[in-house]
Chain A
Amino acid sequence: MWSRTIKNKSWLWLTVVLTAGPIVLGIGYAFAYSFGLTGLLNDGFTIEHWQKTITYTPFWKSLFFSFVIAILTVFIACSLALGIALRFRHIWKQHQALLYLPLTIPSIVMAFFVFQLLSKAGFLSRLLNRIGITSGIEGFPDLVNDNYGLGILFAHICMATPFFSILFLQVYQNERIQLFNQLSATLGASKMDRLRKVVLPIILQKSFPAIILYFIFSFGSYEIPLLLGSQSPQMISVFTIQKLQRYNLADIPIAYVSCIIYSIFIAAIVILSSRLLMYQQMKKG
Chain B
Amino acid sequence: MKRSISISIIGFIAFFPILLLAFLSLSEQWMFPNILPDRLASGPWKLLLTGKSELLYSLLLSVGISLLVAVVVTIFSFFASRQIAYSPIGKKILWLTYFPYVFAPVLLGAILQYYFIRYGMSGKISGVLLGQFFITFPYGIIFFISFWNARIRSFEDLVSTLGGNPFQKYKQVLFPIARPAISLVFFQTFLISWFDYGLTMLIGIGQVQTLPIKVFQYVNSANMNHAAAASLLLILPPVILLWINKKYVLTRWQM
Which A residues have a C-beta under 8 Å from some C-beta of B?
1-2, 5-6, 8-9, 11-12, 14-16, 18-20, 22-23, 25-27, 29-30, 84, 87-88, 91, 95-110, 112-113, 115-117, 121, 123, 125-127, 129-130, 136-137, 162-163, 166-167, 210, 213-214, 216-217, 219-223, 226-227, 237, 240-241, 244, 255-256, 259, 262-263, 266-267, 270
Name B's interface SS: helix
Please measure, in the bound complex, the distance between the C-alpha atom of A127 and the C-alpha atom of B34, giving whole angstroms: 9
Checking B84, B104, B112, B255 against A15 with a beta-carbon cut-off of 8 angstroms, the contacting residue is B84
Please measure, in the bound complex, the distance between the C-alpha atom of A255 and the C-alpha atom of B202, giving whole angstroms: 14
Contact flag A19-B110 (CB < 8 Å), given A9-B87, A104-B249: no
Chain A residues lying within 8 Å of B137, measured Cβ to Cβ, are: 15, 18-19
Q: Do B84 and A98 touch (CB < 8 A)?
A: no
Tell me the B110-142 residues at the A interface (CB within 8 Å).
110-115, 133-134, 137-138, 141
Please measure, in the bound complex, the distance between the C-alpha atom of A164 and the C-alpha atom of B11, giving whole angstroms: 17
Residue from B79, B83, B115 with most neighbouring chain A CB atoms (10 Å): B83
Q: Which residue of A lies closest to B36 (CB)?
A: A126
Q: Do B104 and A16 touch (CB < 8 A)?
A: no
Checking B17, B93, B105 against A102 with a beta-carbon cut-off of 8 angstroms, the contacting residue is B17
Q: Do A121 and B32 touch (CB < 8 A)?
A: yes
Contact flag A87-B6 (CB < 8 Å), given A22-B112, A104-B242: yes
Q: Which residue of A lies closest to B159 (CB)?
A: A1
Please measure, in the bound complex, the distance between the C-alpha atom of A220 and the C-alpha atom of B34, giving whole angstroms: 37
Contact flag A27-B198 (CB < 8 Å), given A101-B242, A220-B104: no
Q: Do A109 and B198 touch (CB < 8 A)?
A: no
Q: Which residue of B lies closest to A117 (CB)?
A: B20
CB distance from B168 to the nearest CB of A (A): 12
- Within 8 Å of chain A (Cβ to Cβ): is B180? no
Q: Do B96 and A166 touch (CB < 8 A)?
A: no
Checking A11, A102, A270 against B98 with a beta-carbon cut-off of 8 angstroms, the contacting residue is A270
Task: Please tell me which stretch of B44-52, B53-61, B233-241 contacts chain A, meaning at least 4 of its Cβ atoms lie within 8 angstroms of it.
Answer: B233-241
Please measure, in the bound complex, the distance between the C-alpha atom of A15 and the C-alpha atom of B100, giving whole angstroms: 12
- Chain B window 8-36, contacts with chain A (Cβ cutoff 8 Å), 1 for yes, 0 for no: 00110011011011001000000011110
Tell me the B214-248 residues at the A interface (CB within 8 Å).
215-216, 219, 224, 227-228, 231, 234-235, 238-239, 241-242, 246
Residue from A6, A14, A26, A166 with most neighbouring chain B CB atoms (10 Å): A26
Chain A residues lying within 8 Å of B11, measured Cβ to Cβ, are: 95, 98
- Within 8 Å of chain A (Cβ to Cβ): is B101? yes
Name 15 interchain pairs, CB-CB below 8 A, sorted by A: A12-B80, A12-B90, A20-B96, A27-B111, A87-B6, A88-B6, A112-B215, A116-B224, A125-B33, A129-B33, A137-B32, A240-B110, A241-B198, A255-B110, A259-B107
Which B residues have a C-beta under 8 Å from some C-beta of A?
3, 6-7, 10-11, 14-15, 17-18, 20-21, 24, 32-35, 76, 79-80, 82-84, 86-87, 89-90, 93, 96-108, 110-115, 133-134, 137-138, 141, 156-157, 160, 166, 194-195, 197-198, 202, 212, 215-216, 219, 224, 227-228, 231, 234-235, 238-239, 241-242, 246, 249-250, 253-255
Checking B76, B115, B219, B253 against A115 with a beta-carbon cut-off of 8 angstroms, the contacting residue is B219
Chain B residues lying within 8 Å of A12, measured Cβ to Cβ, are: 80, 83-84, 87, 89-90, 93
Name A's interface SS: helix
Checking B15, B103, B215 against A220 with a beta-carbon cut-off of 8 angstroms, the contacting residue is B103
Chain B residues lying within 8 Å of A266, measured Cβ to Cβ, are: 101-103
Please measure, in the bound complex, the distance between the C-alpha atom of A237 and the C-alpha atom of B212, giving whole angstroms: 17
Q: Which residue of A lies closest to B97 (CB)?
A: A19
Please measure, in the bound complex, the distance between the C-alpha atom of A167 and the C-alpha atom of B112, giving whole angstroms: 34
CB distance from B156 to the nearest CB of A (A): 8
Q: Do B34 and A263 touch (CB < 8 A)?
A: no
Please measure, in the bound complex, the distance between the C-alpha atom of A241 and the C-alpha atom of B105, giving whole angstroms: 12
